[in-house]
Structure 1
Amino acid sequence: MALRPLLRPGSVVLRRDPSHLQVGFSPAILVRDRPDLVAFLHLLDGVHDLPGLRRAVRRRSLDVGDVDALVLELLARGAAIDPAVAPDPAAPIAVSVLAVDPHAQELARAIGTVCGER
């Protein structure tokens, strides 16, 4: 089955600083900005396969460099997913809270209870 990259569902793309974009909130994934990256991210709709993305980039004259390398970077960073191998949205999610706050363990227990883990 062909890879059809998808920007992480529900993610928004924000300018974090002059040289970085932030994809999503939790977790926030920082990506080094480059010319036309935002336009490219909009192409990650789960419909275009890699050859289709390359054609779309050429057609729109987007300056994003090596499309395959960029897609692999976005997949590795978690900003994009492969919907064909994406986890089941109904599957339980492990929750970890670092104990840097005196209420962290209490919060972790509450989240676990709400998520049905305990």
Structure 2
Amino acid sequence: MSAVAGDGVCEKSAFLTPALRAELLASYPDVRPDLVADDLICHLAAHDDGDHFAILYDHLPGPDAGALWTRWSDDVPRVILLRPDCPARSPEDRIPCGHFTAHPGPHSWQTPTQA
């Protein structure tokens, strides 16, 4: 994935399909259905190629549980990924990165959000 300099967050959108939602709830029975994201937005830095990633569920128990993410390259997310949280923190104020471990591109605090 190559970043597009100065463009902020990717913001490519997709919708969680009913089939993928059903798979998530069957695979992770402790997930609260009302907290699963249906409207998905790529959280990574702007990019002109490669996969898009969005958080499906970020309420797993425990400080090291990570989050459930999805990935897509066309318009339809097709996979559920349990990914640990990125351990990086901003050097100035120690804000944790909002992405998963080994994510492509810069950390979340290094990417300006779009207005």
Same fold, TM exceeding 0.5?
A: no
For normalisation by structure 2, the TM-score amounts to: 0.27
Structure number with bigger Rg: 1
For normalisation by structure 1, the TM-score amounts to: 0.27
Which structure's residues are more often strand, by fraction? 2
Which structure's residues are more often helix, by fraction? 1
